[in-house]
Amino acid sequence: MDKPEVEAEERPEIMLPVGASLVGDAVIVSSPEGIEEFSKKGYGVPEDNKLNLTFYEALFLLGKGSIEVTDKKTGKKLVFQDLLKTFQALDKDAWVRYLIYRDLRSRGYVAREGFGLGVDFRLYERGDYGKGTAKHLIFGIQEGQPALLETLARTQRYVQNLKKNLILAVINRRGEIVYYSLSELNLK
């Protein structure tokens, strides 16, 4: 008995890893297909027919096998640890930010770069990316690392003024992340 043919649209599309380049301290995707595919899913910032990925986006996509990264200077293909070491030299909290980003993405959220005052990420609800602004802002803290209450209070006031929700992402020593929603802060 012959097997029924599967229509083209029912076949799962297998996407080969997209080529990306490490140029200085940025990971850049140049292929039009890669730019379109990643930007519609909330990755990177399009600029001059290229897509600039943040380090945690690049690490996440490399870890999933969605990109292959080549060091533009040496021509060497980079593995996850190579790319992580490069970014840890630029940001001491690179691993912590990556863990939060990976956790949020694996839960189906789109997380974009934060904008100061301790805000690590803007978080879009599932299915909301591209339809409006982020409703939540993520403030990451590593267990055992000091965090000033004054900084947290200032960030909470700032977030309240933006009419957003502040979520505290606490990473324990085992790399597990617990999220706490901070409610209105009234310090008088």
Overall size of the chain counted in residues: 188
- Average of pLDDT values for 43-52? 93
Question: How many of the other CB atoms lie within 10 Å of CB of 75?
Answer: 7
Distance from C-alpha of 89 to C-alpha of 70, rounded to nearest angstrom: 18
In DSSP terms, 141 is beta-bridged to 170
> What is the arrangement of strands in the sheet containing 110-116, beginning at the earlier edge strand?
110-116, 119-124, 136-142, 165-171, 177-182
Quick one: DSSP state of residue 15?
A: P
Of 137, 129, 131, 135, nearest to 110 (Cα)?
Answer: 129
- In tens, the pLDDT along 82-93 reads 999 999 999 888
Rounded to an integer, what distance in angstroms lies between the CA atom of residue 182 and that of residue 159?
10
Strand partners, 18: 67
pLDDT tens profile 142-174 = 887 777 777 878 888 888 888 888 898 999 988
Query: pLDDT band at residue 78, thresholds of 50, 70 and 90?
Result: very high
CATH architecture of the domain with residue range 109-182 = 3-Layer(aba) Sandwich (3.40)
Percent over 90 (pLDDT), the chain: 53
Residue spans per domain, the chain: 14-90, 109-182
Task: Kindly report, residue by residue over 51-67, the tens digit of the pLDDT.
Answer: 999 999 999 999 999 99
- Return the number of other C-beta atoms located less than 10 Å from residue 105's C-beta: 19
CATH superfamily label, 14-90 = tRNA intron endonuclease, N-terminal domain (3.40.1170.20)
CB 44 within 8 A of CB 57: yes
Q: What is the pLDDT of residue 186?
A: 56
First and final CA of the chain: distance in angstroms?
A: 79
* Closest of 107, 74, 111, 69 to residue 87, by C-alpha: 69
Dump the DSSP string for 135-159.
SEEEEEEETTS---HHHHHHHHHHH
